[in-house]
């Protein structure tokens, strides 16, 4: 079956602009989590969506937001881009919410490489 698909793969934006990234989870998976990966901070949790509801949120400013659609596809948006937002943004899909009593594997997409200039 198809894996996690993220689009676009690469993106270059200017400071102050906004950006929207997309993630299509594995078929049947209802949870989508987003992570930011940078050389300095490593992989950091942004937020998780399940059944169109945000379930958990990491320690990121309000400029970072997301949503999930009824087909489980998810988007994340970053407004007023800053140079420090340059990173690889990864999305992970899982059957259920991470941190639920039913542990589940989380599968990652290839990521979107965002460069802010």
Closest separation in Å from C-beta 15 to another protein: 25
Closest separation in Å from C-beta 42 to another protein: 5
Q: What is the distance in angstroms between the CA of the first residue and the CA of the last residue of the chain?
A: 37
- The site for another protein (CB under 8 A) is made up of 4, 6, 33, 35, 42-48, 55-58, 90, 92, 98-103, 105-111
Is 14 or 28 the residue whose CB approaches another protein more closely?
28
Peptide bond into 8 cis (omega under 30): yes
Please tell me the distance from the alpha carbon of residue 72 to that of residue 83, in angstroms, as a whole number: 30
Please tell me the distance from the alpha carbon of residue 15 to that of residue 81, in angstroms, as a whole number: 5
Is 20 or 45 the residue whose CB approaches another protein more closely?
45
């Amino acid at each position: 079956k198809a894996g996690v698909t993220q689009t676009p793969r690469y993106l270059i934006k200017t400071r102050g602009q906004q950006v929207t990234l997309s993630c299509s989870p594995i078929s049947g998976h209802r949870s989508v989590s987003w992570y930011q990966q940078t050389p300095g901070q490593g992989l950091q949790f942004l937020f998780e969506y399940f059944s169109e509801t945000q379930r958990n949120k990491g320690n990121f400013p309000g400029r970072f937001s997301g949503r999930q659609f009824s087909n489980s596809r998810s988007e994340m948006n970053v407004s007023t881009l800053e140079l420090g937002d340059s990173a690889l943004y990864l999305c992970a899909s899982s059957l259920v919410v991470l941190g639920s009593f039913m542990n589940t594997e989380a599968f990652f997409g290839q990521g979107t490489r965002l460069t802010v200039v």
